[in-house]
A and B are shown apart, each in its own frame.
Chain A
């Protein structure tokens, strides 16, 4: 079993590494302090040479630990994957070590996780937002961020004054919009879940 062998090997790095529930590939929970060491051992000693994905997860507003960072590795020689997850200690200002020293490609993945979840990566070469504009005050993939978004100012002061346009919560109008699973393409057109209200008709009480 790959998972058992890996577990033994990784526990040599940190005794707290444990198996993580997984529906597909071997998966491990790892203390965040030894995350880089564990990933380095997987890369150098076990052939997991490719970082497929580096991402994060919000476990819920009240969950503790609230944020988890997740890494998917692929062995290009053996075509097998492994997943490593580590909980961030601080739920207010989650911090994780960067792995961009091991895989330069982690740079932008970590910027995305920083942008959307607000996880700060220590020693990252360029810790800026990657999708939203630099002065955006929120982290949209956090569980307490509403689907439609918040009202904010446009980032360009000149254009803001010239046009008077604002960043507005998207009009939901009975949404979210979902497509029904159906055999007919024509019926898969996304529709509002609750069609009893829209922009012109008030949302019914209760």
Chain B
């Protein structure tokens, strides 16, 4: 078998039952293909998030079908919807409860920038309260756009220096 993954480069004729690789490559490979989302569905965008999870768009093709409603068990928070100032601290609290490593996707105009709600009640972009990895434009973005963002996030995850982060204490 010749692996399509150049990082692992497994060739059974040469290595036999042993795979030689970098720890980073293995860890990132595992993480990349099993991102468990925390669906932070706050408004209309959440409907598109649900569509992405349903049979037609099938987010499980990218290993992200296990929507966890417990932050303890999830890797990527998908903020899908309008974040009000009333909700913002709760979003942050849920983000804090997620175990490291964790990522955030801001889905739609509202989550990215406040969208059309230039209003006294709406947080002007969820990046004011949590660090965002990928932004998605659109109101609402189509499910394909979410899948695209997921692939972008996978690209990002696969280049992280995970072993160094393992022993790093976050300040």
Contact = CB atoms under 8 A, between A and B. Distances in A.
A binds B: yes
Interface of A: 131-133, 138, 140, 145, 147-150, 154-156, 158-160, 162-163, 165, 167-173, 175, 177, 190
A158 B48 CA distance: 32
A149 B120 contact: yes
B114 interface: yes
Nearest to B118: A170
Contacts of B88: 154, 159, 165
B118 A172 contact: yes
A76 to B, nearest CB: 32
B54 interface: no
Contacts of A167: 85, 120
B118 A159 contact: no
Given A131-B121, A170-B114, A170-B122, A155 B86 contact: yes
A155 B118 CA distance: 20
B120 A148 contact: yes
A175 B120 contact: no
B120 A154 contact: no
A112 to B, nearest CB: 13
Interface centre among B96, B116, B121 (most CB of A within 10 A): B121
B43 interface: no
Interface string B114-132: 1011111111100011000
Nearest to A170: B118
B92 interface: yes
Nearest to B128: A165
Nearest to A165: B128
Among A147, A159, A177, chain B packs the most CB atoms within 10 A around the CB of: A159
B120 A155 contact: no
B156 interface: no
Contacts of B93: 156, 159
B104 to A, nearest CB: 13
A177 B116 contact: yes
B2 to A, nearest CB: 48
B101 interface: no
Contact of B129 (A145, A149, A158, A163): A163
B124 A132 contact: no
Given A154-B88, A155-B85, A162-B96, 18 more contacts: A132-B121, A133-B85, A138-B120, A140-B121, A149-B119, A154-B85, A154-B89, A155-B86, A155-B89, A159-B88, A159-B93, A160-B89, A163-B92, A167-B85, A168-B124, A170-B124, A172-B118, A173-B118
